[in-house]
């Protein structure tokens, strides 16, 4: 097993452990101070029984979602690190460094795709949501490394997203266009969770696997798809997309980011 995977698994066990209350409160408040986490939309740090419970905190109140069906919303709180249209079936993980989308998704493509990279830092809300109404046809799990996905690591490691563990959600939009929602693992990510498919177990030494749904799973825009148990990256690929965000924009879940028709 790769050292980063082993370390991430051990860190996951630590983060899941519930220490006695005074010490757990100290851990939580220290983490909040170090990473300057804004908890104004969440329960107080002292209320979480483990560090992982703090990582995976849910919103206290729902954020409003644009009702216009063609409007895309950000699936998470994150930094936009790259966006654009693929070229020769390649996308950028960062300026000057391409990777194969076909390798990432595990399939051949017959067209170019638009994409946006969303980087979730340790301070961010770690749950991710449907960016538009979706019909999910398949989910694919790819085992791999758990290298960091921060900017220094993106500049250093070629094809980082392809090398790392990831979960690919294969879906269609209401206008029958393909969309691929890719959750990429990273160092210290104890696991990635997909609520609609509990059989997926990440960072568990499992072989690549996929689940195909003869009856597609319907997800409404803004509905929670799952969560990272620490920060990581989402890459969204779509057949159609007109983005209304730019590189280095900080976005919030439910914020309008463009249209897809």
pLDDT one-digit tens code per residue, 187-198: 665 578 999 999
Q: Could you say which of 4, 74, 77, 126 is catalytic? A: 77
129 catalytic per annotation? yes
What is the C-alpha to C-alpha distance for residues 149 and 146, in angstroms, rounded to an integer?
9
**76: how many CB neighbours lie within 10 A of its CB?**
28
Which SS3 state, helix, strand or coil, does residue 256 take? Answer: strand
| Structure confidence at residue 200 (pLDDT) | 86
| Structure confidence at residue 3 (pLDDT) | 60
Burial 132-149 (b: 16+ CB within 10 A, else e): bbbbbbbbbbbbbbbbbb
232 catalytic per annotation? yes
pTM as predicted:
0.90
| Structure confidence at residue 189 (pLDDT) | 55
For the chain of 261 residues, list the mean pLDDT of each consecutive stretch of 10: 59 78 95 95 96 93 95 97 96 88 96 96 94 98 79 77 92 96 78 90 75 97 91 92 96 97 77
| Structure confidence at residue 202 (pLDDT) | 77
| Structure confidence at residue 94 (pLDDT) | 78
| Structure confidence at residue 227 (pLDDT) | 93
Helices and strands counted in the chain (H then E) = 6, 16
Q: Could you say which of 4, 74, 86, 129 is catalytic? A: 129
What is the C-alpha to C-alpha distance for residues 84 and 191, in angstroms, rounded to an integer?
28
| Structure-token pair, residue 185 | 């693992």
């Amino acid at each position: 097993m790769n050292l980063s995977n082993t370390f991430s698994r051990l860190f996951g066990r630590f983060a899941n452990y519930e220490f006695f209350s005074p010490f757990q409160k100290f851990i939580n408040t220290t983490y909040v101070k170090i990473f300057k986490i804004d908890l104004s939309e969440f329960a107080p740090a002292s209320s979480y029984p483990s560090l992982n419970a703090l990582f995976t905190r849910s919103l206290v109140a729902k954020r409003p979602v644009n009702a216009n069906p063609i409007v895309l919303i950000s699936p998470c709180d994150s930094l936009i690190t790259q966006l654009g249209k693929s070229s020769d079936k390649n996308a950028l993980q960062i300026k000057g460094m391409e990777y194969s989308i076909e390798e990432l998704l595990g399939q051949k493509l017959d067209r170019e795709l638009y994409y946006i990279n969303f980087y979730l830092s340790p301070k961010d809300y770690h749950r991710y949501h449907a960016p538009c109404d979706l019909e999910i046809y398949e989910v694919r799990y790819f085992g791999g490394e758990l290298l960091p996905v921060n900017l220094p690591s993106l500049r250093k490691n070629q094809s980082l997203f392809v090398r790392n563990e990831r979960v690919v959600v294969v879906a269609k939009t209401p206008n029958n266009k393909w969309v691929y929602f890719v959750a990429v693992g990273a160092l210290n990510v104890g696991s990635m969770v997909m609520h609609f498919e509990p059989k997926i177990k990440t960072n568990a030494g499992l072989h690549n696997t996929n689940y195909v749904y003869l009856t597609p799973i319907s997800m409404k825009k803004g509905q929670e798809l799952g969560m990272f148990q620490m920060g990581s990256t989402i890459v969204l690929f779509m057949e159609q997309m007109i983005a209304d965000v730019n590189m280095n924009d900080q976005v919030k879940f439910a914020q309008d980011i463009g249209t897809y028709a």
